[in-house]
């Protein structure tokens, strides 16, 4: 078997992504390659170790990228076909990301049909993200139904209604008017916050339910390690998860995006130009909520005593440890130290459950909140049955992804890649050429709360080879048209892969008019010397 011809020259860091360089030729017949990592030996000391990694074949990499790619097509009440594509790729074993999707129809308590999509980025385990994938959308939908109820009737009207309803059945219905964007935002924030409250207090309720008068008098802590409900209550509270949700209401043409953590949502709005050429407007719908975000840093400092100002965020992380500044679970950053110590004694006396020690700088919790920042946009969709040219600007797609994607791609690159896909671009395209083929305008920019890792480089190429649009983004995050780089990045197994890439989950939502036919149109590359052949299919916006 041939050995690979490059070797990393820099050691992978204990914390954070490694910086590595490689040399010599990169040929397609390479079968293995070496990576340098740090591992903890039997003596507890960290040391450098060289690992030889078998390289996956091109076919194996293609299968890995497409293995968990799905597409849902739903015709909603507005007459359009809404498409929801999702793909995920693990780095952790098991993967800690989750996702959810639902269409909740109009009902007596909901004035309109809504499309919900969400991605969850778990950390310290998958337990919180898994719970959210099942509970978050129902919680938000229930709160929105409550917000849609008509205001209570005056007492006299209630008496008359009571007399009337004794003879006829009365059914409560929603208000004929849509809730205002502000009402929707408040309802989403309430649902997120209340669900996190239930997650974080579940172990406390179990603990309190097992206290008795004797244990209180003797200051004794009950042994709950064998309690059947212990793990179910503890694991979602002790692990953590970011959550990003988009709610699309075609009837009112409102879109709300709720962000807790450092996942990100980016939309592409199609704009007709005066020169007859359409362009994609890049709209970043959320801000990365980490300690590197000045808004989050200011908020956290304002919530704690002045003497903690230099410690609430260190190296961009909460108390020097947790990167996202908003998250579900993460009770280590929300419970007081004495409570954590008591729960640790109660739940881990005779089982393998390990309580991590409280952060050393924790003094005035909570330091982390699950309350999301909610943004609102009008989708400005053209009327059903009319061509896209009937609207000078309309939303055409939204990308929701966990931070594993945004570690590798910028928001603008994601719009270019999705825009090129929707325009029917095929083949391999030089990175420098794509902006000439897929025109963009800058719109609203969010705050990048992550360390920049050499994104938006002009070297290399993009690949337009996947049928699934979410898989397409994942492929291009890790090499795109550079087949060797792609194979190397996806060949590194857990746990070593975590130093090179994170779990990634990508959901893309877009819509099509019914019956639109694609027409293949050839397009010449601006730089034939550095690109393979590619072509456009449907000419978007025409």
pLDDT digits (tens, 9 = 90+) for 30-56: 589 999 888 888 888 888 899 999 999
Q: Which of 535, 541, 466, 538 is nearest to 506 (CA)?
A: 466
Within a domain: 173: no
Q: Decide: 401 and 513 in contact? Cβ < 8 Å.
A: no
Within a domain: 155: no
At residue 460, φ and ψ (nearest 5 deg) are: 90, -170
Residue 473 has pLDDT above 80, yes or no: yes
Within a domain: 376: yes
Q: What proportions of the chain, in percent to the nearest 5, are helix, strand and coil?
A: 30, 25, 45
At residue 541, φ and ψ (nearest 5 deg) are: 85, 0
Let me know the angle formed at the C-alpha of 380 by 117 and 104, rounded to the nearest 5 degrees: 30
Same domain, residue pair 250 and 360: yes
Same domain, residue pair 444 and 511: yes
Q: Decide: 453 and 20 in contact? Cβ < 8 Å.
A: no
Return the residue matching tokens 């857990």.
494
Same domain, residue pair 3 and 134: no
pLDDT digits (tens, 9 = 90+) for 293-316: 999 999 999 999 999 999 999 999
DSSP 331: G
Let me know the angle formed at the C-alpha of 372 by 315 and 204, rounded to the nearest 5 degrees: 85
Within a domain: 158: no
Same domain, residue pair 307 and 346: yes
Q: Decide: 8 and 34 in contact? Cβ < 8 Å.
A: yes
Same domain, residue pair 89 and 49: no
Within a domain: 157: no
Residue 12 has pLDDT above 70, yes or no: no
Return the residue matching tokens 């509970």.
135
The number of beta carbons lying within 10 Å of the beta carbon of residue 345 is: 16
Q: What is the mean pLDDT of residues 269-297?
A: 92
The per-residue pLDDT for 162 is 61
Same domain, residue pair 30 and 105: no
DSSP letter string over 121-157? EEESSSHHHHHHHHHHHHHHHHHHHHHTSPPPPPHHH
Q: What is the mean pLDDT of residues 156-167?
A: 55
Counted domains in the chain: 2
CATH number, domain containing residue 467: 3.60.40.10
Record the pTM. Answer: 0.85
Same domain, residue pair 40 and 185: no
Question: How far apart, in whole angstroms, are the C-alpha atoms of residue 354 and residue 347?
Answer: 9
Within a domain: 156: no
Let me know the angle formed at the C-alpha of 18 by 44 and 7, rounded to the nearest 5 degrees: 95
Within a domain: 171: no
The per-residue pLDDT for 388 is 44
Question: How far apart, in whole angstroms, are the C-alpha atoms of residue 288 and residue 327?
Answer: 12
The per-residue pLDDT for 238 is 96
Tell me which of 34-48, 140-154, 238-252, 370-384 is least confident: 140-154
Q: Which domain holds residue 5?
A: 1-55
Same domain, residue pair 3 and 79: no
pLDDT digits (tens, 9 = 90+) for 422-437: 999 999 999 999 999 9
Within a domain: 76: yes
Same domain, residue pair 187 and 141: yes
At residue 219, φ and ψ (nearest 5 deg) are: 55, 40
Q: What is the mean pLDDT of residues 480-505?
A: 96
Same domain, residue pair 30 and 78: no
Please, what is the angle between helix 230-238 and helix 337-347, to 10°? 140
Same domain, residue pair 133 and 3: no
Same domain, residue pair 228 and 316: yes
């Amino acid at each position: 078997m041939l050995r690979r011809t490059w070797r990393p020259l820099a050691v992978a860091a204990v914390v954070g992504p490694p910086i590595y360089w490689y040399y010599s030729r990169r040929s397609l017949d390479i079968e293995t390659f070496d990576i340098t990592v740090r591992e903890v030996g039997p003596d507890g000391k960290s040391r450098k170790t060289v690992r030889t990694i078998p390289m996956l074949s091109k076919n194996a990499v293609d299968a890995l990228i497409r293995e968990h790619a799905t597409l849902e097509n739903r015709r909603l009440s507005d007459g359009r076909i809404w498409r929801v594509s999702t793909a995920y790729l693990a780095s952790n074993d098991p993967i800690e990301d989750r996702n959810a999707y639902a269409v909740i129809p109009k009902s007596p308590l909901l004035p309109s049909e809504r499309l919900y999509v969400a991605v969850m980025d778990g950390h310290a385990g998958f337990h919180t993200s898994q719970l959210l994938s099942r509970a978050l959308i129902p919680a938000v939908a229930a709160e929105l139904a409550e917000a849609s109820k008509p205001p209570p009737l005056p007492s006299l009207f209630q008496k008359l209604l009571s007399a009337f309803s004794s003879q006829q059945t009365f059914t409560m219905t929603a208000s004929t008017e849509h809730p205002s964007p502000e009402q929707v935002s408040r309802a989403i924030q309430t649902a997120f916050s209340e669900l996190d409250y239930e997650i974080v207090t579940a172990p406390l309720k179990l603990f309190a339910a097992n206290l008795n008068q004797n244990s209180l008098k003797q200051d004794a802590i009950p042994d709950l390690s064998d309690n059947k409900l212990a793990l179910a209550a503890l694991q979602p509270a002790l692990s953590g998860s970011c959550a990003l949700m988009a709610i699309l209401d075609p009837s009112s043409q409102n879109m709300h995006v709720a962000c807790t953590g450092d996942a990100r949502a980016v939309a592409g709005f199609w704009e007709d130009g005066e020169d007859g050429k359409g362009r994609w407007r890049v709209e970043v719908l959320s801000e990365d909520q980490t300690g590197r975000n000045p808004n989050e840093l200011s908020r956290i400092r304002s919530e704690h005593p002045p003497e903690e100002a230099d410690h609430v965020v260190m190296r961009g992380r909460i108390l020097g440890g947790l990167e996202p500044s908003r998250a579900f679970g993460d009770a280590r950053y929300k419970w007081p130290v004495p409570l954590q110590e008591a729960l640790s004694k109660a739940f881990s006396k005779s089982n393998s459950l390990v309580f991590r020690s409280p952060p050393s700088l924790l003094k005035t919790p909570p330091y982390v909140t699950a309350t999301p920042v909610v943004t609102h946009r009008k989708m400005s969709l053209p009327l059903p049955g009319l061509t896209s040219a009937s609207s000078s600007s309309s939303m055409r797609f939204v990308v929701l992804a966990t931070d594993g994607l945004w570690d590798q791609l910028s928001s603008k690159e994601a719009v270019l890649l999705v825009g090129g896909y929707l325009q029917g671009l095929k083949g391999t395209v030089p990175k420098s050429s794509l902006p000439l083929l897929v025109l963009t305008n800058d719109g609203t920019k969010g705050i990048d709360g992550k360390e920049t890792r050499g994104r938006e480089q002009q070297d290399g190429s993009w690949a337009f080879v996947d049928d699934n649009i979410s898989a397409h983004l994942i492929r291009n995050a890790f090499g795109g048209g550079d087949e060797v780089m792609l194979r190397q990045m996806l060949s590194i197994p857990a746990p070593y892969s975590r130093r090179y890439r994170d779990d990634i989950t990508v959901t893309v939502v877009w819509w099509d008019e019914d019956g639109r036919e694609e027409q293949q149109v050839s397009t010449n590359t601006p730089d034939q010397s550095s690109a393979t052949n590619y072509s456009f299919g449907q000419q978007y916006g025409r």
